[in-house]
Amino acid sequence: MAYAIEMKHIRKAFPGIVANDNITLQVKEGEIHALFGENGAGKSTLMNILFGLYQPDEGEIYVHGEKVKITDPNDANRLGIGMVHQHFMLVDKFTVAENIILGKEPSHLGRLNMAKAVKIARDLSDKYGLDIDPLKKVEDISVGMQQRVEILKTLYRGSNILIFDEPTAVLTPIEIKELIQIMKRLVSEGKSIILITHKLKEIFEACDSVTVIRRGKVIDSMAIADTNPDDLANMMVGRKVNTQINNTAYEPKGKVLDIRDLTVLDSRRVKVVNHLSLSVHGGEILGIAGVDGNGQEELVEAIAGLRKASSGTIEINGQDMTNHKGRKITENGFGYIPEDRQKDGLVLDFTVGENLALQTYYRKPFASSGILHPKVFTQQAKQLIEEFDVRTPSERTLARSLSGGNQQKVIVAREVSRSPQLLVAAQPTRGLDIGAIEFIHGKLLEEKQMGKAVLLVSFELDEVLHLSDRIAVINEGRIIDIVNPKETNENELGLLMAGHKKEAHQA
Amino acid sequence: MSFFQVLTIIIPSTLLTAAPLIFTSLGGVFSERSGVVNIGLEGLMWVGAFTGAVATLFLEHAGVGAASPWIAILIAAAAGGIFSLIHAVVSISFHADQTVSGVALNFLATGLTIYLVKMIYNGQGQTPYIANNIDKTTIPVLGHIPFIGPIFFQQVTYTSYIAILFAFICWYILFKTTFGLRLRAVGEHPEAADTLGISVIKLRYIGVMISGVLGGIGGAVYLVTITSNFNISTIAGQGFLALAAMIFGKWHPIGAMLGSLFFGFAQALSITSQQIPYLDRLPSVVLMIAPYVLTLIVLTGFVGKAEPPKADGVPYFKGQR
Amino acid sequence: MSTWFRKINWLTLLIPVISVFLGLLCGAVIMLAGGYNPLLAYGSIIQSIFLQPYYGGETIRAMIPLVLSGLAVAFAFRTGLFNIGVEGQLMAGWLASVACAIELDGLPKVILLPLSIIVGGLVGGLWSFLPGLLKARFKVHEVISTIMMNYIALYSTAYIIKNFLYTEGERTPTIPSSASLASNFLATITQGSRLHWGFIVAIIAVVVMWFLLWRTTMGFELRSVGFSPDASRYAGMNVSRNIILSMTISGVFAGLAGAMEGLGTYQYMSIMSSFSGIGFNGIAVALLGMNTPIGVVLSGALFAGLQTGGLTMQSVAGVPTDLIQVVIALIIFFVGSSYAIKWIWLRMSRKGRKS
C-alpha cells in the first residue's frame, strides 16, 4: 500500500538534547495513524519538522512517494499537509471566515472579497459537516467550534494529510466523540490523519495504526489490531507501570479542609464552581477527577485566596479562610503546588535560593524589621537542595536554567518544608519524566502518612486512581460523586466526568 | 464677535494644526497594527521636518519655485521611510525592546538633524526660512458655498484635506485588502500568521516603514505649512501628540484622524483663545494639557476600553511556541 | 563583597563595553563623513575632562542629575516597569524644590536645605505615583501614561512659573542661599565650575537603591514582581501595591535629580519650551549600566564626560556638540540589540533542553 507520508531516519538535536533520534514514521494513505508518547518524547518536534517549522539535521521526507524538502509552512501547505495545532492558531478578533481564508484570500487586485470568503466557509462546513458560523468572531465561539475552524482552515488549503496535535486536551467528552466522528469522516473522504496523543483511549477508538515514541526514539510501529492498551502503555513508559502506588494505610483524621456551598464566578461572571461542598481529612489524599475546564482551576484558586468566592465558606484547620488574602491562608497551614509551575510557581529569574524562600522571605529568621539576612537564605537553600535532591549547580543558579523536574522539586521543597496541614497539588507531574513523577508521588504519599491532608487535582486518571484514598469527580463546577478508587474503574469515572451520574450507578 | 466668526477662526486653525498629526498618527497605526510599538514617531517627524526644510531650500535654490515644498514632502517621506528602517532592523530582526529602540530613534533623530543643520549651515542652530511654504488658501468652488465655505474651505491648506483623505485610504487598506488583513493578523497573532505562510518579519518591516513614510510626511507638512524653518524646537512633542492621537483613536485610522483633529482643535484653541470671548479667561495651560489628560482618561477605560493589538510590542521569534 | 564579586557575569559585562566602543566608532565615521577629525575630537574630550579642573568639575556636576535619573529608570526597570516619565518627574521635583526654597525663605539652612530636597523628591514621586496607580488599577501601560505626564509637567510648570513665581528672564527668582547646594570651595578647586554638594545626595541615592533592592523584604518583593507578577501573586505578594511603590520610588529619584538642578546647578528654574533631556538620558544611563547601581554610576560618568567634553570638542575640532547625542543614541541601539542577541542565545539553548 502507498504511503501518504514517510519520514525516514529523522534526527533533530537542540543544544543539550536530541529531540528526534533516527525516527522513521510511515503513514498509509487513508488511515488514522497515532503518534503516541509521553510529553516531551519528541512528538511535537517531529511534527514541526513535517510542517516546516523546524529543519531536520538528518533524514528524508517523502510525501506520496516523492522525496520533498519542507522549509516552511508554505511548502507544507503546497504538499497538502495541514496542521490542527494544540494551541489554536486563530486570530481572536477576526471572524471565522477571515480566519479560514487568511493567507490564501479570495481577492481581486488586492481587494478582499469577503462575500466570497463567507461562501467558501459555508460550503466547506456543509461539505464536511463541520458546523460553524462564518460571521461570528472567534473570541465569541466555543472551544469546540474553534477547533472546527482550525480543521476547516486546513481543508480550505486542500490538505489531504492532516496532523492533529493533542486535539482532545481542551475538549469535553462529548466534543471528543464528535471529533473522532469528524476524523473518521475525513478519512472516508480520502484524507490521511496523524493523531498526536498520549491518551490510550483515543487511539483504540479512532486509529488504524500507531507509532510509539520514547525519548526521541521510535519504540515500535504496528496496526491497532495487533496490540492492546497494556502493551502500548508499557512501550510508552519503557517498563511495567507500577499500578499500585498507594498501598499505604488509610486512616483518616479530622477535617482539615472544609468547603461548604462554594460558588465562584469566572471573568465572564459564569458560575464555574457551583454550590460545591467538599472536605479533606488529615491523613488522606483526595483526588479530584474531571475534564479540564470544569471548575478545578477556579476551585483551587478560591482555596488559595487568589480568586473571590461569591458565596459559601472555606475552612482550613477550623478557621474560616473564605476570601482572605493569600498570605494569610498560607500562614494558616496551606501549601500549594500550582498547575503552571513556570508561570505561577517560580520566579524564573530568581535564584533557586530566592525561590525556596518565596513564601517565607519576610519572616524570621529570613528577615527582621524588613531587612533581609542573606546568610539564612543560603543556609536554608543548601539544606533543602540536599533534602529534596534538587539537581542544581548551586543555590545561586537561576531557576530558569533547571530542568522541569528539578523546578518542580524546588516548588515541592518550598511548600512541603513549611509543613502545612493542607497541601493542594494541581497537575503536579504534568510534563515531567518518570523519575521526577515518582519523586513527587512519593512526597505526596509521605505527607499523607504524616497525617497531612492532600488535595490532588489531575487530568491524568491514572494518577488520580493510583494515589487517592477517595476520588471526587467534578463536573460543571459540582462534585457529582465521591468514589472509592478500589471499587471503581476508568469507565465509571469517565462516565461520571461526563456528567452521567445515573448511568454510572446502573453500570 | 459672533459664533460664526469664532468658527471661521477656530476650524481652519484646527485643520492646519491637525494635518501633521493625522499623517503621523496614521503611520503609528500601521506600525502598531503590525505589532511594533513606535515611540519613535517623534523622531520620524524630526527627520521629516529637517528633510522638508533642507529639500525645499535646495529646490528653491535650483529654481523649482512654488512646487518646491510639495516635492520636499515626497523627499521627506522617503527620508522617513529610510530612517525608520533602523527601528525595524533593531526591533524586528534583532528583537530589541521596541520601546528602547523607539527612544533611541528619537535620540538619534534629534541629535543627527541638529548636527547636520549645524554642519550644513556653518554652525548655525537653525535653517534659513523657506520662501515657498504651502500657504493658506481658499479652495475653488467649495470655498464660496455660503456659511460652510468660510468655515471649512477658506484660509485652509490643501494638506489638511489630503491628510483626511489619507485616513480613509488607510482605513480601506487596513480593513478591505488582503494586505491589511494580513498586517492585522501579524499584529494580533503572529504565530498563526506564520503557520499560514505569511511572513511576519516582512509585514512588520512594511508596517514600520509605512509609519516612517507617514511620519516623514507629517514632519515635512508641519514645516512647510506652519513653522517654515527647522530648529531644535520645531517639532517639540508633535510626534508624541500623534502617538496620543493614535491611542485616543484606539489604533483605528479613522479614530486616529478624529483624535488628531480633536488635538488640533485643542491646540488651535490654545493659540487663538486670546481672540475668542470667554475663552480668553480660561488659563491657556488647560488647553495645552487637555490632549494628554484626555488620553490618560481614555486609557483608564472610562470611555470605552482602548485595547492595543494583542501582539503589539512583542518581538517575534520564528518557531517559538 | 566576595559574593558580589562572584555574582558578576563577565560575559554580560562585555556587552556595554562593546556597545560603547561601537557607538564611538560610528560617531567617528559620522565625523569623518562630515570632514572632521575624530581623533582630534575625542582627544579634546579626554584632554578637557581629565586635565582641566573646570571641565572635570562640570563633568561631576553633570553626573549628579544623570546618575539620579539613571537610578530612577533602573529602579523601575528592576520591577519590570519602563519609566519614560523621568523627564516630567524631574521638572515637577525641580519646581517644587525651588518653590519650597523661595516660599519658606527665612528658615535656617539645616532645615530649609534638606526640606527643599525632600519636597523635590516627594513631588517627583507624586508625579509618578499616578502612572503607577493607573497601571495597577486600570492596566494603563506606563510607557504611554508617563509620556503624557511629561507633557503635562512641561506645560504646567511653565504656567506656574509664569503666573506665580515669575521674575525677569523667563524664570523663577533665585533661591535663598540657605537652600543652596552651591559651594565656593568646590567651585574654587575646580576653577569656577558649578560643582555643588549634590554629589553627596547622588552617592547616598546609589547606596539606598542597592540596599533597598537587595537587602530589604520590600526590594525582594519589588524584584519578584518585576520578574514574574503571577508567581509573586501566588506567593501572597500584593502586585498592585508593588507596582505603585516601584513607580513612586522611581519618581522620587527623578524628583531628586530635579532638586539638584534647582538647588545646585542653576539656583532657579526657567520656563522651559522643551525638555531638559536629562530624563531621557537617564534611560540611556540605566540601560548601559545594566540597571545596577554601580553600572549607573559608571555610565553616568561616561555620558556626563561626553556631554561636558562635547563643548571642547566643538571649539577644538569644530564638531557640533550634537554629535554626542548621536553617539549616545547609537550606544542605546547597540545595548538594546545585544541584549536581544544574548537573550535569543539563552532562549535557544533552553528551548532545546525543554523539547
CB A253 within 8 A of CB A424: no
Lowest mean pLDDT, pick from A205-214, B268-277, C198-207: B268-277
pLDDT band at A505 (very low <50, low <70, confident <90, very high): very low
Q: Taking CA B270 as the corner, what is the angle to CA B267 and CA B274, rounded to the nearest 5 degrees? A: 145
Amino acid at B207: G
pLDDT for res A471: 94
**What CATH superfamily is the domain A3-237?**
P-loop containing nucleotide triphosphate hydrolases (3.40.50.300)
- Is residue B33 within 8 angstroms of chain A, CB to CB? no
Q: Establish if B179 touches chain A: CB-CB under 8 angstroms.
A: yes
Residue A137 contacts B, CB cutoff 8 Å: no
3-state secondary structure of A220: strand
Do the beta carbons of residue C296 and residue C247 sit within 8 Å? Answer: no
- How remote is the C-alpha of A96 from its chain's centroid? 26
The CATH number covering residue C136 comes to: 1.10.3470
**Contact criterion met (CB < 8 Å) for B319 and A104:** no
Q: How far is B175 from chain A (nearest CA, A)?
A: 9
Q: How many domains does chain C fold into?
A: 1
Nearest to C332 among B107, B114, B237 (CB): B107
Burial class (CB in 10 A: 0-12, 13-18, 19+), A197: buried
Q: Give me the CATH code for the A242-333+420-507 domain, please.
A: 3.40.50.300
Measured between CB atoms, which of B177, B182, B319 is closest to A53? B319
pLDDT-derived band at A275 (thresholds 50, 70, 90) equals: very high
Q: Tell me the residues of chain A between 337 and 396 that have a Cβ less than 8 Å away from chain B.
A: none
Contact state of A306 with C223 under an 8 Å Cβ cutoff = no
Average pLDDT of the residues in A393-409: 89
**Helix, strand or coil for residue A261?**
strand
Interface membership of B181 toward A (CB under 8 Å): yes
pLDDT number for residue C88: 96
pLDDT for residue C249: 97
DSSP bridge pairs for B156: B137
Mean pLDDT value across chain B: 90
Q: Nearest chain C residue to A215 by CA: give it.
A: C355
Q: Does A261 score more than 60 pLDDT? A: yes
Would C350 be classed as within a structural domain?
A: no
Interface contacts (A, B; CB < 8 Å): 70
Partnered with residue A62 across adjacent β-strands are A6, A67
pLDDT given for residue A195 in this prediction: 93
Say whether residue A190 is in contact with chain B using an 8 A CB cutoff.
Answer: no
pLDDT in tens, C305-333: 999 999 899 889 889 999 999 999 999 99
pLDDT in tens, B21-61: 999 999 999 999 999 999 999 999 999 999 999 999 999 99
pTM: 0.86
Binary contact (A372, C217; C-beta < 8 A): yes
Taking CA–CA distances from C78, the nearest residue in chain A reads A349
With residue C128 as reference, give the H or E element that holds it: helix C109-138
Mark yes or no for CB contact B177/A112 under 8 Å.
Answer: yes
Of C331, C317, C328, C330, whose CA–CA distance to C32 is shortest? C317
Contacts of C10 (CB under 8 A, 6+ apart): none
Strand A17-28 versus strand A334-337 pairing type? unpaired
Is residue B113 over pLDDT 90?
yes
DSSP per-residue string spanning A334-397: EEEE-S-IIIII--TTSBHHHHHTTTTTTSTTTEETTEE-HHHHHHHHHHHHHHTT---S-TTS
> Residue A417, class by beta-carbon neighbours within 10 Å (0-12 exposed, 13-18 middle, 19+ buried)?
middle
Residues of chain A with CATH 3.40.50.300: 3-237, 242-333+420-507
Asked whether the beta carbons of residue A343 and residue C224 sit closer than 8 angstroms, the reply is: no
Q: Is the separation of the CB atoms in A110 and B178 below 8 Å?
A: yes
Q: Dihedral sign, CA of A111, A116, A117, A118?
A: positive
Query: Is residue C14 domain-resident?
Result: no
How far does A74 lie from chain B, in Å, by closest CA?
5
C-alpha cell at position A315: 475552612
Question: What backbone phi and psi angles, to 5 degrees, belong to A208?
Answer: -100, -35
- On average, the pLDDT of chain A sits at 88
| Percent of chain B scoring above 90 in pLDDT | 59
List A195's β-bridge partners, or say none.
Answer: A34, A164
The gap between the terminal CA atoms of chain B, to the nearest Å, is 65
Signed CA dihedral, A388, A389, A394, A399: sign only: negative
Q: Minimal Cα–Cα distance from B159 to chain A, Å?
A: 27
Closest chain C residue to the Cα of B118, Cα to Cα: C320
CA-based nearest residue in chain A for residue C215 = A372
Residues from chain B that touch A48, judged by Cβ atoms under 8 A, are: 319
Q: Using CA coordinates, name the residue in chain C closest to B289.
A: C152
Mutation to test the B interface, candidates C73, C315, C326, most B Cβ within 10 Å: C326
Q: With a cut of 50, which residues of chain C have pLDDT below it?
A: 1-7, 353-355
Among A45, A327, A346, beta carbon nearest to C236: A327
- Give me the residue from A74, A90, A110 closest to B178, CB to CB: A110
Reported as type and span, the H/E element at residue B228 is none
B319 touches chain A (CB under 8 A): yes
The nearest alpha carbon in chain B to A109 belongs to B177
User: Which residues of chain C neighbour A343 with C-beta distances below 8 Å?
Assistant: 228, 230-231
Q: How many angstroms separate the CA of residue C183 from the nearest CA in chain B?
A: 33
Contact flag B237-C154 (C-beta cutoff 8 Å): yes
CA distance A23 to A46: 8
User: Is residue C273 less than 8 Å (CB to CB) from chain A?
Assistant: no
Shortest alpha-carbon distance between residue C1 and chain B (Å): 32
Kindly report whether the peptide bond that precedes residue B146 is cis, defined as omega within 30 degrees of 0: no
Phi-psi region of A397 (alpha: psi -120 to 50; beta: other; left: phi over 0): beta
CB spacing of B177 vs A91 below 8 angstroms: no
In the prediction, which pLDDT does B139 show?
82
Nearest to A16 among C224, C228, C352 (CB): C352
Quick one: which of A138, A132, A125 has its CA closest to A94? Answer: A138
Give pLDDT tens digits for B222-260.
999 999 999 998 998 899 999 989 988 989 999 999 999
Looking at the complex, does the CB of residue C355 fall below 8 Å from at least one CB of chain A?
yes
Find, among A17, A44, A105, the residue nearest to B197 by Cα. A105
Q: Please report whether residue C20 resides in a domain.
A: no
pLDDT for A198: 75
Check residue C347 and give its pLDDT. 56
Read off the pLDDT of each residue in A278-288 and give the average, rounded to a whole number.
94
Partner chains of A (3+ C-beta pairs under 8 Å): B, C
pLDDT attached to residue C1: 36
State which amino acid sits at residue C9. N
**Rounded Cα–Cα distance for residues B226 and B238 (Å):** 12
Spatial contact of C66 and C282, defined as CB atoms under 8 Å apart: yes
Which of B115, B233, B247 is closest, CB to CB, to C326?
B115
CB proximity C139 to A under 8 Å? no
Find chain B residues with C-beta within 8 A of A107's C-beta.
177-178
* Residue A346 near chain C (CB below 8 Å): yes
Residue A243 pLDDT: 46
Q: Domain span at residue C276? A: 36-343
Does residue C2 fall inside a structural domain?
no
Half-sphere exposure of residue B9: CA atoms within 13 angstroms, side-chain side: 16
Q: Does A319 touch chain B (CB under 8 A)?
A: no
Residue A82, min C-alpha distance to chain B (Å): 9
Residue A31: which residues within 8 A CB-CB, separation 6 or more? A187, A192, A193, A207, A208, A209
Please name the member of A16, A346, A372 whose beta carbon is closest to the beta carbon of C215: A372
Contact yes or no for C333 and B295 at CB 8 A: no
Residue type at position C221: E
Q: Which of B95, B105, B247 sits opposite C344 (nearest CB)?
A: B95
Q: Which three cell numbers, joined as nine digits, stand for C255?
A: 524628583
> What letter represents residue A337's amino acid?
I
Instruction: Identify all chain C residues contacting B236, using CB atoms and an 8 Å cutoff.
Output: 273-274
Contact B28, B40 (CB under 8 A): no
Nearest residue on chain A to B198, alpha-carbon basis: A103
**Chain A residue whose CA is closest to B321:** A87
Confidence of residue A293 (pLDDT cuts 50, 70, 90): confident
What is the Rg, in whole angstroms, of the alpha carbon atoms belonging to chain B?
20
Q: Note the pLDDT of residue A271.
A: 87
Taking an 8 Å cut-off on Cβ atoms, the answer to whether A347 and C217 are in contact is no
Is A153–B196 a contact, with Cβ atoms under 8 angstroms apart?
yes
pLDDT(A432) > 80: no
Does C81 map to a domain? yes
The pLDDT tens digits for B129-183 are 999 888 888 888 888 888 888 888 888 889 999 999 999 999 999 999 999 999 9
Check if C2 contacts A (Cβ < 8 Å). Answer: no
- Between residues B64 and C96, the one the model is more confident about: C96
Task: Report whether B152 contacts B14 (CB < 8 A).
Answer: no
